Chain A
Amino acid sequence: AQSVTQLDSHVSVSEGTPVLLRCNYSSSYSPSLFWYVQHPNKGLQLLLKYTSAATLVKGINGFEAEFKKSETSFHLTKPSAHMSDAAEYFCVVKGTSYDKVIFGPGTSLSVIP
């Protein structure tokens, strides 16, 4: 069985400071992992994906995530937060069949000016 845990339901950072959004997963298989961002009343936009290649994955808008198998983690980071980063972020795990896509509950990121 697969599952995703996003450890913080809400994170607040000051503009220009680093962002860390935490995600832990559980999977019986070698998973594919994704991060999505959702701005208010919008669909989800893919930030980055891990698919068993490099463990450090770079995405759009300066975000990156590191896959750590020993810790079953896939935390999302950004060196310097921008006001436009304020949104909901979802960690997603995908297993061996197309229908088994598991979304985390989401982390709401607030950026304080």
Chain B
Amino acid sequence: SQTIHQWPATLVQPVGSPLSLECTVEGTSNPNLYWYRQAAGRGLQLLFYSVGIGQISSEVPQNLSASRPQDRQFILSSKKLLLSDSGFYLCAWSAYSGTVVDQPQHFGDGTRLSIL
């Protein structure tokens, strides 16, 4: 069966420090991968998605970047964190399909990021 792992579960970082959040998927090949941010009491905002190694699309301009160095690894990074980067970050995957519309996304347990 497929599993998705996200770490760390919680992270407290000072303003201006770097960030690296990692997400890995097991049990599937060539997944579509996603990073979302969820602000307190709000819905999900898609940050990045990837359809293959080295292929990253950004949904919104921001202080963050993403990379996909391996097929099932997705990394969210920042060189200098801002206070506004605080939030709950979720990684998700969906199966690659010719008719992708019906493939649900499967989520990791998230990383709670607090910027001080």
Contact = CB atoms under 8 A, between A and B. Distances in A.
Contacts of A106: 42-43
A97 B94 CA distance: 12
B44 A32 contact: no
B43 A104 contact: yes
B101 A32 contact: yes
A95 B101 CA distance: 6
Nearest to A34: B104
Given A99-B46, A106-B43, A43 B107 contact: yes
Please tell me the size bucket of the interface on B: 20 to 34
Nearest to A6: B43
Contacts of B110: 41-43
B45 to A, nearest CB: 8
Contacts of A25: none
Given A43-B109, A46-B106, A105 B49 contact: no
- 6 closest A-B pairs by CB: A43-B107, A51-B102, A44-B107, A98-B100, A105-B43, A103-B44
Given A45-B107, A99-B57, 7 more contacts: A32-B102, A42-B110, A44-B90, A46-B106, A98-B32, A103-B43, A103-B44
20 contacts: A31-B101, A32-B101, A32-B102, A41-B88, A41-B110, A43-B107, A43-B108, A43-B110, A44-B44, A44-B105, A49-B104, A90-B43, A90-B44, A94-B101, A95-B101, A96-B101, A97-B101, A98-B32, A98-B94, A103-B43
